[in-house]
Amino acid sequence: MIVVMKKRATEAMIQSVASRIEQMGLKAHVIVGTERTVIAAIGEKRNGEQQTLSGLDEVDKVVPILAPYKVASLETKGEPTIVRSHDLVLGGGHVGVIAGPCSVESEEQILESARCVKAAGATALRGGAFKPRTSPYSFQGLKEEGLKLLATARDETGLAVVTEVMTPEHVELVARYADVLQIGARNMQNYHLLQAVGEVDKPVLLKRGPSAEIDEFLLAAEYILDQGNPNVVLCERGIRTFETHTRFTLPLATVPYLRERTHLPIVIDPSHGTGIASLVPPMAAAAIAADCDGLIIEVHPNPSEALSDGAQSLTPDQFADTMDRCRAVARALGRSI
């Protein structure tokens, strides 16, 4: 249920209604909007609660939340969530670009990547230190050493660092270095991991599982929100279909579809979505045309030498051209990057 507070409700009144909700055995998520505050009362529905809460003086009305994802739903929060970290701003009309190599490989590689993506206009640096690889024989990442190199790159460039965390045990370690925690596609339904990042005070970039339906994707986000972390970014990175010419199939309709259902920012990953570098610039521009809140793009100083995902990585020059192309599309739609 959504408990809509009266406009004049004070902080004390809001807290008192939240306590009342908790006493009923429900969880209370207070969502402060620009217009008024609502409290999402989440839990197994019993009889009479709606009536009791509607009767409270400071409550305007109580409405049921129809979607299975409660806190993520647009019904609960009608205004966009804006996620910020350093200069990265995603949502509410702000478009952020996260760029960098698939994996952190060396100090030279990550610093060179950071400098070139920053010069081209990216506001965050990506790079995996813990890599979920299909084969156990592939490069698994530099682990903590990689995290330290990312922090060095942030110190030099000011870019926010986005990096993946693969297990609940590593959340504390990764959060010490990262600005945004990435949950990889393979881990979208690792519920203990989702709950663990839900307890952290850093934004989370949640990638869609390649076989996940949109409701499953939103329910995965709900696991994070339910633990009290409101800063979740949804990332469409392509799904598995019968098509084998591209690595995955990148459904851009995900953007307007999600927009009608959730207030969370939506980012597109055209690199994993296609797996082919030449397809990345047009799909990045198309994602901007579809009104996404941000892009995450793989860029490597020398893609042919990359230890992971070289075939889909852009060179620095290709990335700069892609940014120009995206800016032109954004401008045509009255937005800016």
Least spacing, CB of residue 246 vs Mn ion, in Å: 15
Given the DSSP bridges, would you call strands 37-42 and 88-90 parallel, antiparallel or unpaired?
unpaired
- CA Rg value for the chain: 21
Residue 230 beta carbon to ligand PEP: minimum distance, rounded to whole angstroms: 23
Tokens of 29: 């998520």
Binding ligand PEP (rule: CB under 6 A), the pick from 118, 207, 247, 263 is: 207
Closest CA to 295 of 160, 98, 163: 98
* Closest CB 207 distance from ligand PEP, rounded Å: 4
Cα–Cα distance for residue pair 287/106, rounded to 1 Å: 31
| Per CB under 5 A, 250 contacts Mn ion | no
Shorter beta-carbon distance to ligand PEP: residue 132 or 251? 132
Instruction: List, in sequence order, every residue forming a beta bridge with 296; answer none if it has no partner.
Output: 98
Which range binds ligand PEP by CB under 6 A, 1-9, 24-32, 60-68, 178-186?
178-186
Which one of Mn ion, ligand PEP, none interacts with residue 75, CB within 5 to 8 A by kind?
none
Q: Tell me: does residue 202 bind ligand PEP (CB under 6 A).
A: no
Please, what is the minimum distance in Å from the beta carbon of residue 133 to Mn ion?
10
- Helix pair 107-120, 316-332: axis angle to 10 deg: 30
The one among 53, 72, 117, 185 contacting ligand PEP by CB under 6 A: 185
Candidates 102, 120, 239, 290; binder of ligand PEP (CB under 6 A) is 102
**Which residue number, 80 or 100, has a Cβ lying nearer to Mn ion?**
100
Task: Please state, as a whole number, how many other Cβ atoms lie within 10 Å of the Cβ of residue 155.
Answer: 10
Q: Which span (144-152, 180-188, 223-231, 325-333) binds ligand PEP, by CB under 6 A?
A: 180-188
**Amino acid sitting at position 264:** L
Side chain identity at residue 325, one-letter code: R
Selected from 70, 94, 202, 237, the binder of ligand PEP by CB under 6 A is 237
Sequence-distant contacts of 86-90: CB under 8 A, at least 24 apart: 86/123, 86/124, 86/154, 86/158, 86/159, 86/160, 86/179, 87/123, 87/124, 87/158, 87/159, 87/160, 88/123, 88/124, 88/159, 88/160, 88/179, 88/180, 89/123, 90/233, 90/265, 90/267, 90/293, 90/294
Residues numbered 81-110 forming contacts with Mn ion, rule: CB under 5 A:
102
Residues that bind Mn ion (CB under 5 A): 102, 309
Residues that bind ligand PEP (CB under 6 A): 102, 128, 132, 184-186, 207, 237, 272
